[in-house]
A and B are shown apart, each in its own frame.
Chain A
Amino acid sequence: MPKIGLSTGTKWDGILQTRDDCRFVIPKSYKAGMLVDALIFASPKLIEYACHDLSLDQTANVAMLPGILRHSLAMPDVHQGYGFPIGGVAAMDTEDGVVSPGGVGFDINCGVRLLMSSLPVQEVRPKLRQLVDALFEAVPAGTGSTGPIKLNHTELDSILRSGSQWALEHNWATEDDIEHTEERGQMKQPDPAQVSERAKKRGNSQLGTLGSGNHFLEIQYVDEIFERPTADSFGLFEGQVCFMIHCGSRGLGHQVCTDFLSTMGPLMASYQITLPDRELACCPISSPEGARYLSAMAAAANFAFANRQLITFWTRQVMSRLFGEQGRLKLLYDVAHNMAKMEKHRVNGQQKEVLVHRKGATRAFPPGRSELGGAFLISGQPVIIPGDMGRASYVLVGTEQAMEETFGSVCHGAGRLMSRTRARKQRKASDIMAELEAAGIIAKATTRDGLTEEAPAAYKPIDEVVAAVYNAGIGRRVARLRPLGVIKG
């Protein structure tokens, strides 16, 4: 296997090894304490981006987590996070491995879903502004936004236990929605008692809200089909209008992460764990604290599933009002991209249960995996990849190669390229709005910063990121979608 050095003009020249055009390795000899090599999936251009922030050092630090299996992995959208890089994947041995709240992130079960209409773009365009306005009105977004549903303690605990199933019981979901949601919208072994009262208090008025930052609700249309049989089986066709929802567990999940960072940090010494970054705070999976975190995380993840399901319900109401029967929306799939999950994988020739952390990475399972129901058992799992509000998003499908190399994971988006500070300074919100409008995209945001910080130029080119996934063989392209309307928090 050729190992060629890179020339990026950064400290990584001479350290980072090029395995091929889409695989780059930081050998475990790079830093004392690394237990495995770090393997980064990228293109020559994307790896250069990664060399210019802390992404690669963070990927190397993750390789120090006790019990890590195979490699510390980074996806092509990798960028600097806290502790873990965003776009990082780490699978842990369940016997001697650790669980790290930072490996999941503050926004537990932040994820994306894609709703498909049967309407072609030309039928929606004349009503596009009306549709954007109606969605902006119907879906609470922005900082401090509260939803129309006020929950008492019992009801909130029920959501934490049941996720999308709770929404089904209240007629806010269909059985088909449940079938088309990762984990059927209900994580196993949640324990509401492990979610602090503070977390519950942050979350109890936020159900059914988008939040802010990079979260959005987009109206999109299918611009290109790459793999027709798979697109057909998913129900995607050229020109089709779709809706993409990106959000997570809101303040409830953020508080769970904050609580467990505080709990686990001081305990690490007692478990003889020393790591170079405090944000990597972790405890053994088998420890009481590890078990408590996983139960709290599962409960917060269920809140996120219910949250996306309610936003789906508001979106359906709007579509029904504007387009009647023709406005029906079918859920293609809902995927999480901030999660730690127990999954069966082949490690050293043996099938075993491992804990896979995906921090800004999406599960991408191939055909035949028992977790996939119905038609996806044959086609493989739809993987929803949001890009930026000006360019494109993608639907991919999982591959066997991903099982071999990435524990069945791919990227979660385009990945940020530019800091929020720089993005804010570079462009005015009105200029971004005008540019989007010139491209036929109507955007509406609760804050100016919501637009400037999320400007298309702040992100890596999604086509390049998805091409790197495709070239590495860890995901196949099914369809590309272009934005028509954007609702930002």
Chain B
Amino acid sequence: MAIELEHTADLGFRVSARSLDRVFEDAGVALTNLILDTHLIMRKESRKITLSSMTREDLMFVWLSELIYLFDAEHVAFSEFVATIVNAGRVGFRLEAFVSGERIDPQRHQIRSYIKGITLHQLQVAQDADEWYAEVYVDM
């Protein structure tokens, strides 16, 4: 479940979960939900996405930027995200995700908003007590 974070010009969201994997999955859902209703996205095709970055925050940045890229360049959106995050020590963090969704159909998919990009503004991926959370602001 994502909480919307206010921003004068744009928008942010916060997701929290028991595991870091789940936070990345929920962030994928939250981002997609800003663009269109994920409940309307059928799981017609699956893809494997592999990314790596030095920090958890950078990994979140490249992960969500990848989803925006796929939406904008290939017109596909996803409703199911299964992510595994591996801490690879000195070489940083690695994400392996299986995503399922379909090509955008303007007849069925009512677009809510267009996201230009993921910002680094107050981007957080951290652990708080027994929960992981992420806060992300997007440029709209």
Binding site for B on A (CB under 8 A): 53, 55, 79-83, 86, 105-107, 142-144, 198, 201-202, 211-213, 251, 254-255, 257-258, 261-262, 265-266, 277-279, 281, 416-422, 446-447, 449, 453, 489
Residue from the list B4, B61, B113 in contact with A143, Cβ < 8 A: B113
Is B137 in the interface zone, CB < 8 Å from A?
A: yes
Residue from the list A79, A257, A262, A446 in contact with B111, Cβ < 8 A: A446
Residue from the list B6, B65, B110 in contact with A258, Cβ < 8 A: B65
A255: chain B residues within 8 A (beta carbon): 69, 72, 117
**Once the chains bind, are A82 and B112 in contact (CB under 8 Å)?**
no
Is B8 in the interface zone, CB < 8 Å from A?
A: yes
B106: chain A residues within 8 A (beta carbon): 144
Residue from the list B8, B110, B112 in contact with A416, Cβ < 8 A: B8
CB distance from A137 to the nearest CB of B (A): 15
**Once the chains bind, are B120 and A86 in contact (CB under 8 Å)?**
no
**Once the chains bind, are A143 and B114 in contact (CB under 8 Å)?**
yes
Q: A80-B9, A213-B140 are in contact. Are A489 and B114 (CB under 8 A)?
A: yes
**Once the chains bind, are B120 and A279 in contact (CB under 8 Å)?**
yes
**Once the chains bind, are B111 and A279 in contact (CB under 8 Å)?**
no
**Once the chains bind, are B120 and A281 in contact (CB under 8 Å)?**
yes
Is B10 in the interface zone, CB < 8 Å from A?
A: yes
**Once the chains bind, are A266 and B54 in contact (CB under 8 Å)?**
yes
B118: chain A residues within 8 A (beta carbon): 258
CA gap between A107 and B116 in the complex, in Å: 8
CA gap between A416 and B69 in the complex, in Å: 27
**Once the chains bind, are A278 and B8 in contact (CB under 8 Å)?**
no
Q: A82-B137, A198-B69, A201-B73 are in contact. Are A254 and B120 (CB under 8 A)?
A: no
Q: A144-B114, A198-B69 are in contact. Are A421 and B6 (CB under 8 A)?
A: yes
**Once the chains bind, are B72 and A106 in contact (CB under 8 Å)?**
no
CA gap between A262 and B55 in the complex, in Å: 12
CB distance from A382 to the nearest CB of B (A): 26
CB distance from B53 to the nearest CB of A (A): 9
Residue from the list B58, B114, B123 in contact with A212, Cβ < 8 A: B114
Interface residues of B in 1-35 (CB under 8 A from A): 4, 6-11, 35
Q: A53-B8, A419-B8 are in contact. Are A447 and B110 (CB under 8 A)?
A: yes
Q: What are 25 A-to-B residue pairs whose CB atoms are below 8 Å? A: A80-B7, A80-B9, A81-B9, A82-B119, A82-B120, A105-B139, A106-B117, A106-B139, A144-B104, A144-B114, A198-B69, A211-B114, A254-B72, A254-B116, A254-B117, A255-B72, A257-B117, A258-B68, A258-B118, A262-B62, A277-B121, A278-B120, A279-B121, A420-B140, A453-B113
Binding site for A on B (CB under 8 A): 4, 6-11, 35, 54, 58, 61-62, 65, 68-69, 71-75, 104, 106, 110-114, 116-121, 123, 137, 139-140
Residue from the list A82, A251, A417 in contact with B121, Cβ < 8 A: A82
CA gap between A447 and B61 in the complex, in Å: 27
**Once the chains bind, are B113 and A447 in contact (CB under 8 Å)?**
yes
**Once the chains bind, are B6 and A419 in contact (CB under 8 Å)?**
yes
Q: A144-B114, A211-B114 are in contact. Are A198 and B73 (CB under 8 A)?
A: yes
B140: chain A residues within 8 A (beta carbon): 213, 420
CB distance from B113 to the nearest CB of A (A): 6
CA gap between A81 and B35 in the complex, in Å: 20
CA gap between A417 and B9 in the complex, in Å: 8
CA gap between A421 and B116 in the complex, in Å: 17
A420: chain B residues within 8 A (beta carbon): 7, 9-11, 140
Closest residue to A281 on the B side, CB-wise? B120
**Once the chains bind, are B72 and A144 in contact (CB under 8 Å)?**
yes
CB distance from A432 to the nearest CB of B (A): 16
CA gap between A353 and B70 in the complex, in Å: 40
**Once the chains bind, are B65 and A80 in contact (CB under 8 Å)?**
no
List 7 additional contacts besides A142-B114, A198-B73, A447-B110; criterion CB under 8 Å: A79-B9, A83-B120, A107-B139, A202-B69, A251-B72, A278-B123, A447-B112
A258: chain B residues within 8 A (beta carbon): 65, 68, 117-118
Residue from the list A80, A265, A449 in contact with B113, Cβ < 8 A: A449
B8: chain A residues within 8 A (beta carbon): 53, 55, 79-80, 416-419
B75: chain A residues within 8 A (beta carbon): 144
Q: A79-B9, A144-B104 are in contact. Are A447 and B121 (CB under 8 A)?
A: no
**Once the chains bind, are A143 and B35 in contact (CB under 8 Å)?**
yes
CA gap between A262 and B123 in the complex, in Å: 13
CA gap between A380 and B80 in the complex, in Å: 55
CA gap between A288 and B44 in the complex, in Å: 44
CB distance from B63 to the nearest CB of A (A): 12
CA gap between A142 and B75 in the complex, in Å: 13
CA gap between A79 and B7 in the complex, in Å: 10
**Once the chains bind, are B111 and A144 in contact (CB under 8 Å)?**
yes
**Once the chains bind, are B4 and A421 in contact (CB under 8 Å)?**
yes
CA gap between A211 and B116 in the complex, in Å: 10
CA gap between A262 and B6 in the complex, in Å: 25
CA gap between A251 and B4 in the complex, in Å: 24
Residue from the list B7, B73, B113, B116 in contact with A106, Cβ < 8 A: B116
CA gap between A309 and B39 in the complex, in Å: 38
Closest residue to B137 on the A side, CB-wise? A82
